[in-house]
Copies of this chain bind each other. A is one copy, B any other.
């Protein structure tokens, strides 16, 4: 009953990814998803170029931003058969003590495609038939989107969605997003959708220009302003807009040490700094500023599956623009696409389509 499938395997850091056949067959409680698209994330490049270790030993198919259609289901998961779905980037087990206490993001039995299990740079993927996010294809079509497009709802959209939600952004908030790229761009849009006035900071003119048209009320080029000037610019913006000088929401989405330094320097009284991006690099910070400002720093690992539908609705309802920030490429061009994303020759979020 298996399906002849293939996936692109990472065998070692920087070694060319290799196409390999396999038979996709779901066990009890699992489903096979025919991949519609899988987004290429900074995290994939971290594994591939920077030596960040995957939990599953190599060889492993990377890719955790996956949409597709359920084409086979094991016992107990039949209800998903035929449905269009987004596969959450982090799938908690749903049954352990942590999950029962609502702490899915730290579930120790969680499965992250492309890290704990084979990922979505593949024709098919076998995943637990639990926590998947159903996609209403009629609404999707009316919104002018293809199923492949919404692959990046997993992670690129939902991770900042969870960060914005958890931080408590509300109408009248001032949000500052450091790094307006593949994740940060959506963070700008989501914070804006939650009612915040949003400042976007980046080192790339094109990204700043793009996000200025989609939710950023102010953009700041971090190449020409130091930390002090950036903070002064945000403070002046707050004053001009009648926003508070306290309780800023800062979202570090660049996943770089420089971005983290900038984000840390934006702490004000009662601030919330959300650490959304990842880097292995350390940064030198005055940790006591959290104390002096009665502020907090919150890490965000993925997004609980129960919040995916609301995040997807932002896209389908047109409150978050997705199409201008993605581009699709054939999956079999994966080695070229990885290199192009790594060298910034591709500016939008690349989605690989089998």
Contacts and interface: CB of A to CB of B under 8 A. Distances in A.
A302 B293 CA distance: 11
A342 to B, nearest CB: 19
Interface residues of A, number: 41
A143 interface: no
A134 B50 CA distance: 59
Contact of A284 (B252, B283, B289, B296): B283
Given A103-B270, A294-B105, A285 B283 contact: yes
A282 B284 contact: yes
Nearest to A97: B244
Contacts of A108: 246, 269
Contacts of A246: 98, 103, 106, 108
Nearest to A246: B106
Contacts of A301: 291-294
A275 B290 contact: yes
A68 interface: no
A341 to B, nearest CB: 20
Main secondary structure of the interface of A (DSSP, over half): loop
Interface in A234-281: 246-247, 252, 255, 260, 264, 269-270, 275-281
Interface string A297-308: 111111000000
Contacts of A212: none
Contacts of A280: 286, 288
A295 interface: yes
Contacts of A289: 299
Contacts of A299: 288-296
B297 A277 contact: no
A291 B269 CA distance: 22
Nearest to A296: B298
Nearest to A163: B291
A291 to B, nearest CB: 4
Contacts of A255: 288
A27 B290 CA distance: 34
A345 interface: no
Tell which of A106, A287, A293, A302 has the most Cβ of chain B within 10 Å. Answer: A287
A286 B260 CA distance: 10
A281 B286 CA distance: 6
Nearest to A103: B270
Contacts of A298: 290, 296
Contacts of A284: 282-284
Given A106-B270, A282-B287, A292-B299, 14 more contacts: A106-B247, A106-B269, A106-B293, A260-B287, A278-B291, A279-B288, A280-B286, A281-B286, A282-B284, A284-B284, A289-B299, A292-B301, A296-B297, A297-B297
